């Protein structure tokens, strides 16, 4: 059993809310957790789960302390159970809360609180024994994996108990105000040097400390912000943690851990990054069980529920095993873009896993190229690892479209030319000509073409471009007059070919070619803006080409 305390020198930093979220997080990872509210002067940990005044607390920790001080029999521990989904319950996760007391009856609560003898409770041998016995009773009766304490603020005796005597780990939450940072620094150093730890903890190891900066705007450069915070704290800490500002929390408090599916709030990502470093137990076995359960339930579970479960797993456990399961799930339900993202996340940890890259490649072929803008270089890198020889036509076609280096394109050419079955297949031949076109291997391209290839409109365009660059305008023009066109996406390649012919044909000759092609001439005269506004035209970074087209269209008016 491990004891973890949430402490803050000043209030208003989200300590109790973080404590409640941590409890839910641990339970969702399959652990048995007991939360203990020891902020006696400002209790309310229960309200994070049930809302104000709805918990119906009859007693709490204060009743235990009062009975001990009065030398009466200690009441049984009867914590409040926090409800969870059946899936969490089935996996063994459980969350229970021992509240501070019935603070909804303020007169009775504060009267009992005012009668406590903290000197006796915290400084006498009998008093300190009570607290250790309390932990022992919780462990025996409730059998938790973790006890999480919500501590009182400030430099108080109760705070000393919560941060130095009882816990194995302490989270020091702080804002960036000078007094909060200074108080946090003093508390950090106090815990490090505390004689209480040596006297009372015996053979237990020193308290593990974590400093958490909260409720500050999320910076654009987190690394630079982290360096700035380290300089301000003047503390030799291995790492600072951050819970950045959340706009929704400014107006209405909520448990982010209850929103682990669907649209995930940014604060939840911060919580998970922090909590994952505090989990006292390796969750790999638990994750495997959850993934197996998810997989086995796909045929009987509603699709909306499957989505909720996999999104929750992705949020709580951003690990390779979960990314792969999510990638395969989204692939199964034909949501290629979500599948692609998760395959990429998985391959960060296994970049040479060719079996998975084969799956990834299949998904890539189903994703529109326009949706790959952010991941283009990553997709190319993984496909390159797979190698052109293992790519099916759709994947190889995508690799050819995304590849930028001549080495990558040449590898495509070699993979097709070196395999007679590929070299004779129309799908692969089309890719071959596209690669040769980008490589500008015009002689090889023309020499490779057969009568069968000329039945493919895309290959015809490439051959016309090759003849134009080989300064054989008559053959280029023969193909141009046969090419169909319906909209700017068809006309744009023709304009590129005509542009390549400008070394052999004057502008007037090119205008004559357009005039002789009745359909091309009519379209360019009626809809010149369609061509100029087409993405293929605007995305081509060639000012000379743009000027040439505009001049040509201007002369045709």
Give per-residue pLDDT as tens, 444-477.
999 999 988 888 888 999 999 999 999 999 999 9
Residue 383: its pLDDT value, please?
A: 94
Same domain, 239 and 300: no
Domain with 90, as residue range(s), is: 2-276
In the predicted model, is pLDDT for residue 538 greater than 60? yes
Contact 514, 483 (CB under 8 A): no
Q: What is the mean pLDDT of residues 288-312?
A: 90
Which carries the bigger pLDDT value, residue 552 or residue 175?
A: 175
Q: 């365009």: which residue's tokens?
A: 461
Alpha helices in 51-177 (DSSP H): 61-69, 86-90, 106-114, 118-123, 125-142, 157-160
Q: How high is the pLDDT of residue 401? A: 92
Q: Which of 276, 293, 311 is the last residue of a domain?
A: 276
CATH number at residue 114: 3.40.50.300
> pLDDT grade, residue 52 (50/70/90)?
low
Point out the least confidently predicted range of 71-75, 93-97, 191-195, 383-387.
191-195
Indicate the number of domains in the chain.
4
**CB-based contacts of 333: which residues, under 8 Å, 6+ apart?**
303
Shared domain for 214 and 328, answered yes or no, is: no
The packing angle between helices 457-469 and 473-480, to 10°, is: 160
pLDDT for 407 beyond 90: yes
Give the model's confidence band at 199: pLDDT under 50 very low, under 70 low, under 90 confident, else very high. low
Averaged pLDDT, 184-200:
80
- Banded model confidence at residue 281, pLDDT cuts 50, 70, 90: low
Regarding pTM above 0.75, the answer is: yes
The pLDDT of residue 57 is above 90: no
3 state SS of 540? coil
Average pLDDT of the residues of the chain: 89
Q: Same domain, yes or no, for 265 and 313?
A: no
Asked if 376 and 491 sit in the same domain, the reply is no
Q: Are residues 393 and 382 in the same domain?
A: no
**Collapsing DSSP states into helix, strand and coil, what is residue 18?**
helix
Question: What does the angle CA 540 – CA 546 – CA 551 come to, to the nearest 5 degrees?
Answer: 160
Same domain, 286 and 267: no
d(CA 116, CA 284): 45
Residues 73 and 100 in one domain: yes
* Residue given tokens 């076609």 in the structure block: 397
Same domain, 372 and 476: no
What per-residue confidence (pLDDT) applies to 59? 83
Q: Is residue 31 within 8 Å of residue 146, measured between CB atoms? A: yes
What does the CA dihedral 98, 102, 104, 106 come to, rounded to 10 degrees? -130
Per-residue pLDDT, 337: 94
For residues 337 and 398, membership in a common domain is answered with no
Asked if residue 46 lies in contact with residue 39, where contact means CB atoms within 8 angstroms, the answer is no
Same domain assignment for residues 237 and 318: no
From the CB of residue 227, how many other CB atoms can be counted at a distance below 10 Å? Answer: 12
**Smallest Cα–Cα separation from 410: which of 442, 388, 385, 378?**
388
Provide the CA 294 distance to its chain's centre, in angstroms.
Answer: 20
Last residue of a domain, one of 260, 276, 292: 276
What pLDDT does residue 345 have?
96
Confidence at 53, pLDDT banded by 50, 70, 90: low
For residue 509, give the 3-state DSSP assignment. helix
Q: Which residue from 255, 271, 268 is spatially nearest to 17, judged by alpha carbons?
A: 255
Q: Containing H/E element for 463?
A: helix 457-469
> CATH number of the domain that 350 lies in?
1.25.40
Which strands sit side by side in the sheet containing 94-98, from one edge to the other? 80-81, 94-98, 32-38, 146-151, 2-8, 169-174, 208-214, 240-243
Question: pLDDT tens, 360-382?
Answer: 999 999 998 888 888 999 999 99
Q: Determine the 3-state secondary structure of 97 from DSSP.
A: strand
Most confident of 255-264, 279-288, 332-341, 527-536: 332-341
Q: What's the pLDDT tens digit per position in 314-370?
A: 999 999 999 999 999 999 999 999 999 999 999 999 999 999 999 999 999 999 888
**Average pLDDT over every residue of 300-326:** 92
Q: Taking Cα atoms as reference points, which of 9, 22, 27 lies closest to residue 163?
A: 9
Final residue before a domain boundary, out of 209, 242, 276: 276
Tell me how far apart the alpha carbons of residues 362 and 68 are, in angstroms, rounded to a whole number: 67
User: What confidence tens digit (pLDDT) does each residue in 468-508 have?
Assistant: 999 999 999 999 888 877 766 788 888 889 999 999 998 88
pLDDT band at 117 (very low <50, low <70, confident <90, very high): very high
Q: What is the pLDDT of residue 342?
A: 97
What does the pLDDT look like over 512-533, one tens digit per residue? 888 888 777 887 887 777 778 8
Same-domain status, 394 and 299: no
How does residue 204 score in pLDDT terms, banded at 50, 70 and 90? low
pLDDT at 163: 92
> Do 554 and 513 share a structural domain?
yes
Provide the pairing of β-strand 94-98 with 80-81: antiparallel
């Amino acid at each position: 059993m491990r004891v973890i305390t949430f402490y803050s020198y000043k209030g208003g930093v989200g300590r109790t809310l973080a404590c409640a979220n941590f409890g839910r997080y641990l339970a969702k990872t399959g652990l048995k957790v007991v939360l203990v509210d020891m902020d006696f002067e400002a209790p309310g940990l229960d309200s994070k789960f049930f809302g104000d005044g709805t918990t119906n607390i009859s007693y709490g920790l204060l009743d235990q302390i009062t009975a001990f001080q009065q030398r009466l029999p200690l009441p049984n521990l009867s914590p409040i159970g926090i409800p969870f989904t059946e899936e969490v319950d089935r996996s063994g996760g459980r969350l229970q809360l021992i509240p501070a007391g019935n603070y909804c009856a303020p007169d009775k609560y504060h009267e009992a609180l005012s009668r406590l003898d903290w000197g006796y409770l915290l400084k006498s041998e009998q008093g300190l024994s009570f607290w250790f016995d309390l932990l022992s009773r919780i462990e025996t009766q409730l059998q938790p994996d973790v006890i999480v304490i919500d501590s009182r603020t400030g430099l108080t005796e109760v705070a000393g108990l919560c941060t130095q005597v009882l816990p194995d780990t302490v989270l020091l939450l702080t804002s960036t105000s000078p007094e909060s940072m200074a108080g946090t620094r003093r508390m950090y150093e106090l815990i490090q040097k505390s004689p209480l730890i040596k006297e009372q903890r015996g053979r237990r190891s020193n308290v593990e400390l974590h400093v958490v900066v909260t409720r500050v705007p999320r910076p654009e450069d987190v690394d630079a912000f982290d360096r700035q915070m380290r300089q301000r704290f003047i503390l030799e800490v291995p790492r600072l943690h951050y819970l950045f500002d959340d706009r929704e929390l400014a107006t209405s408090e909520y448990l982010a851990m209850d929103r682990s599916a669907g649209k995930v709030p940014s604060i939840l990502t911060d919580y998970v990054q922090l909590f994952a470093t505090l989990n006292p137990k390796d969750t790999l076995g638990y994750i495997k069980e959850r993934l197996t359960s998810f997989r086995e339930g796909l045929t009987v579970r509603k699709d909306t529920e499957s989505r909720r479960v996999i999104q929750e797993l992705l949020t709580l456990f951003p690990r390779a095993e979960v990314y792969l399961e999510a990638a395969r799930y989204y692939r199964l339900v034909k949501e290629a873009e979500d599948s692609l993202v998760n395959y990429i996340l998985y391959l960060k940890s296994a970049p040479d896993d060719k079996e998975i890259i084969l799956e990834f490649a299949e998904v890539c072929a189903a994703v529109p190229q326009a949706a790959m803008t952010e991941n283009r270089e990553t997709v190319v890198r993984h496909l390159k690892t797979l190698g052109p020889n293992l790519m099916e036509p759709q994947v190889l076609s995508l690799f050819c479209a995304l590849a930028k280096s001549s080495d990558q394109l040449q590898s495509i050419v070699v993979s097709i030319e070196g395999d007679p079955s590929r070299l004779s297949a129309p799908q692969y031949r089309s890719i071959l000509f596209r690669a040769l076109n980008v490589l500008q291997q015009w002689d090889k391209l023309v020499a490779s073409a057969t009568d069968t290839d000329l039945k493919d409109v895309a290959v015809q365009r490439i051959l016309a471009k090759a003849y134009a660059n080989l300064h054989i305008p008559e053959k280029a023009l023969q193909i141009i007059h046969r090419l169909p066109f319906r909209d700017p996406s068809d006309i744009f390649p023709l304009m590129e070919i005509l542009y390549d012919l400008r070394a052999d044909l004057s502008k007037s000759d090119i205008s004559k070619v357009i005039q002789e092609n009745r359909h091309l001439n009519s379209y360019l005269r009626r809809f010149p803006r369609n061509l100029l506004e087409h993405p293929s035209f605007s995305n081509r970074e060639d000012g000379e080409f743009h000027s040439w087209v505009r001049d040509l269209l201007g002369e045709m008016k």
